[in-house]
């Protein structure tokens, strides 16, 4: 899903020109910006788990062997998780839930972060202006992963 991480990040920045301008003006924000972009529009929307032992969670009784869907896309926008969750703030300090936690923490996190940060820095450094070629985007038909099939951009490179 790293390709979706990158395309979702670019698309989100296009929809929030104030934050795009902020990132251009302060490229040192790339690292926290990537975390915030992942929180705001995560490419991994859902993951699945098996209940290992009987338990009660949020008032619901779960039994060993039950299947549980964890909707990360919703959790990342939960006001209990972060203040003003519908606001994109590239300077926000967040706890990086987008890559999971504990035993289920993403093994590819270092590579995904490096690729995402490099891609954003490259796009911002080489393209002083870019915009969507069309607003009619085709999205992958998958509940667990969010991303566009392609992201057609019109770019103005540095001379």
CA distance 76 to 72: 6
CA distance 35 to 133: 26
Q: What is the mean pLDDT of each run of 10 residues along the chain (159 residues)?
A: 92 97 95 93 91 95 95 91 93 79 78 93 91 94 92 84
CA distance 152 to 123: 14
Q: Which of 102, 140, 97 is nearest to 8 (CA)?
A: 140
Q: Provide the CATH number for the domain around residue 146.
A: 1.10.630.10
Residue ranges of alpha helices (H) inside 98-138 are 109-126
Q: Which of 136, 119, 106 is nearest to 13 (CA)?
A: 119
**pLDDT value, residue 107:** 78
**pLDDT value, residue 93:** 84
Residue 69 lies in a domain: no
Residue 72 lies in a domain: no
Domain that holds residue 10: 2-43+77-156
Burial of 116 (0-12, 13-18, 19+ CB in 10 A): buried
Residue 59 lies in a domain: no
User: Rg of the chain over CA atoms, in angstroms?
Assistant: 17
Residue 116 lies in a domain: yes
Domain count, the chain: 1
Count of CB atoms within 10 A of residue 36's CB?
A: 24
Residue 55 lies in a domain: no
Residue 51 lies in a domain: no
pTM: 0.88
Residue 39 lies in a domain: yes
Residue 24 lies in a domain: yes
């Amino acid at each position: 899903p790293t390709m979706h991480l990158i395309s979702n990040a670019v698309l989100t920045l296009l929809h929030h020109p104030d934050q795009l301008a902020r990132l251009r003006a302060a490229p040192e924000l790339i690292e926290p910006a990537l975390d915030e972009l992942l929180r705001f529009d995560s490419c991994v929307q859902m993951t699945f788990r098996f209940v290992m032992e009987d338990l009660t969670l949020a008032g619901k009784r779960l039994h060993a062997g039950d299947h549980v869907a964890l909707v990360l896309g919703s959790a990342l926008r939960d006001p209990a998780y972060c203040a003003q969750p519908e606001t994109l703030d590239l300077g926000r300090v967040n706890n990086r839930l987008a890559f999971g936690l504990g035993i289920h923490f993403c093994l590819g996190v270092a590579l995904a972060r490096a690729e995402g940060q490099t891609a954003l820095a490259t796009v911002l450094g080489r393209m002083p202006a870019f915009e969507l070629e069309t607003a009619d985007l085709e999205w992958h038909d998958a509940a667990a992963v969010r991303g566009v099939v392609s992201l057609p951009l019109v770019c103005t490179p540095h001379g």
